[in-house]
Amino acid sequence: MSGIRRKVIRVLEGESLAVPPVWLMRQAGRYLPEYRETRARVGSFLDLCYSPEHAVEVTLQPIRRYGFDAAILFSDILVIPDALKRNVRFTEGHGPELDPIDEDGIRALKADGVLTHLAPVMETVRRLRAELPEETTLLGFCGAPWTVATYMIAGHGTPDQAPARLFAYQHPQAFRHLLSILAEISADYLVAQIDAGADAVQIFDSWAGVLGEEEFAAFAVEPVARIIASVKSRRPKARVIAFAKGAGYMLKNYRSGTGADAIGLDWSVPLSFAAELQREGPIQGNLDPMRVVAGGKALEHGIDAILEHLAQGPLIFNLGHGITPQADPEHVKMLVKRVRGWKG
């Protein structure tokens, strides 16, 4: 890392900044016309993920347009199942699909060759760190084992992840083995991203909110804790954000349970509860993405409420989930301007 202390890293290390740094989940994506133009030239979505030239380009697009304080690697959480030969494909209008896995398939999983398969992703990270402005934090990421497992078992996304929940009850040993394999591979993958130039990493548990208390501890907290412990044992200076969407009150012990440096909050987390969580360390979030679609007073009010409640502590301003394709790029511009102009 250069001699510049990047703002996002300063917050991850516990510092409160007068103006919080800002980036947005899915900031490189379909709401940007330049992304749609690049995507149309490449072919499949996975081709885009595995093409360093094009993945670098789409990662840089929102940095050029808005000057966010962090760039997040353009990739997908399902590149690990793809590397495990689960036949991942993305169909326009249908989302990701892959071959559903069963007990025999879990027993047959081999981690050998996964990082070789993912070498283009690390090349993207290396190129990004060389091309990004010095002051911009580069974030790597992976999916949390629970969320990745839900796709592997169902073969696609489902509203409540009933296939994975049922499988976990009916085949507990096999399910835990799957989570263990995914945790091990994910830790290796994050270390490789850090070694390639990522300044920090985020673990996305997008489906944590469907779990009960006991299951959350076993399927969401424990595997993420294993990943973070493994990463930090090898790269002690690594900084990790853990995002468990929909976890609600169970976020109270999520930081201590996982060892994350910061926890991401979705928009359903009350700001009073967010302030309570912030007393224990850095937080990230948590504007409703629909406010970005709405724009105007709805967007202004949402931004101001977060800053009024949370800007006095260690905060990374972000959305409570990914930006949606319907978002107006001008609304994003206004968001960045309003956060940067904060005078709390």
Residue linked to tokens 């793809």: 82
What SS3 state is found at 50? coil
| Residue 10 falls in the annotated catalytic set | no
Question: Catalytic residue among 39, 127, 226, 239, which?
Answer: 39
CB contact at 8 A, 205 and 172: no
Distance CA 161, CA 216 (A): 13
CB contact at 8 A, 240 and 261: yes
Element (H, E) at 33: helix 33-42
For every residue of 210-233, DSSP letters joined together read: G--HHHIIIIIIHHHHHHHHHHHH
Peptide bond into 318 cis (omega under 30): no
Write the CA distances from 135 to 7, 118, 126, 160, 341, integer angstroms: 8, 27, 16, 40, 19
Question: Which of 341, 316, 334 is closest to 25 using CA atoms?
Answer: 316
CB contact at 8 A, 288 and 269: no
Question: Catalytic residue among 31, 35, 50, 151, which?
Answer: 151
Phi/psi for 200 (5° steps) reads: -155, 170
Rg (alpha carbons) of the chain, rounded to whole number: 19
| Residue 76 falls in the annotated catalytic set | yes
Question: Catalytic residue among 10, 30, 65, 126, which?
Answer: 30
Distance CA 115, CA 158 (A): 28
| Residue 151 falls in the annotated catalytic set | yes
| Residue 239 falls in the annotated catalytic set | no
Question: Catalytic residue among 6, 50, 69, 76, which?
Answer: 76
| Residue 35 falls in the annotated catalytic set | no
Q: What is the largest CA-CA distance in the chain?
A: 58
CB contact at 8 A, 11 and 262: yes
Give the CA count within 13 Å in the CB-facing half-sphere of 319.
19
Active site residues: 26, 30, 39, 76, 151
